[in-house]
């Protein structure tokens, strides 16, 4: 009985996670209509991993707040469309690295805010 309940609960959580990820992706697309749909889904999937501690799993993220969704998109752009990670790996302090790539991140966000 306990094993069946665990399996049933796991299936329920998996279904909830799929629905939440879809809702998160839809909110990304609403706030950033120029963001490619596959990219919005990838960002949502990454940000909403259960137990990850990422912004998508925070209370604000689960509520699909504009700030949390935007933070997830900013982080995704920072890590995938700029040399941010390479700067960190080469010893550049995080704050300085973020300042260096801020214009590139903002440029992408500005483009994605337009349909």
pLDDT over 90 (residue 99): yes
Considering only CA atoms, which of 52, 1, 51, 47 is closest in space to residue 22? 47
Tell me what pLDDT residue 41 has. Answer: 98
Tell me what pLDDT residue 74 has. Answer: 98
Contact 97, 105 (CB under 8 A): no
Between 9 and 53, name the one with better pLDDT: 9
57 CB neighbour count, 10 Å cutoff: 17
Q: How confident is the model at residue 53 (pLDDT cuts 50, 70, 90)?
A: confident
Q: How confident is the model at residue 61 (pLDDT cuts 50, 70, 90)?
A: confident
What DSSP letter does each residue of the chain carry, written as one string? Answer: -HHHHHHHHHHHHHHHHHHHHHHHHHHHHHH-TTS-HHHHHHHHHHHT-TTS--GGGSHHHHTT-HHHHHHHHHHHHHHHSSSHHHHHHTT--HHHHHHHHHHHHHHHHHHHH--
pLDDT over 90 (residue 58): no
Tell me what pLDDT residue 100 has. Answer: 98
Q: How confident is the model at residue 56 (pLDDT cuts 50, 70, 90)?
A: confident
Residue boundaries of the structural domains of the chain: 2-113
């Amino acid at each position: 009985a306990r094993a069946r309940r665990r399996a049933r609960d796991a299936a329920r959580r998996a279904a909830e996670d799929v629905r939440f990820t879809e809702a998160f992706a839809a909110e990304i697309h609403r706030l950033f209509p120029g963001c490619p749909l596959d990219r919005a889904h990838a960002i949502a999937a990454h940000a909403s991993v259960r137990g990850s501690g990422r912004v998508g799993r925070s209370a604000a993220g689960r509520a699909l707040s504009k700030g949390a969704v935007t933070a997830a998109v900013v982080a995704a752009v920072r890590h995938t469309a700029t040399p941010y990670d390479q700067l960190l790996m080469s010893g550049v302090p995080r704050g300085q690295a973020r300042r260096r790539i801020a214009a590139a991140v903002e440029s992408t966000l500005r483009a994605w805010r337009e349909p």
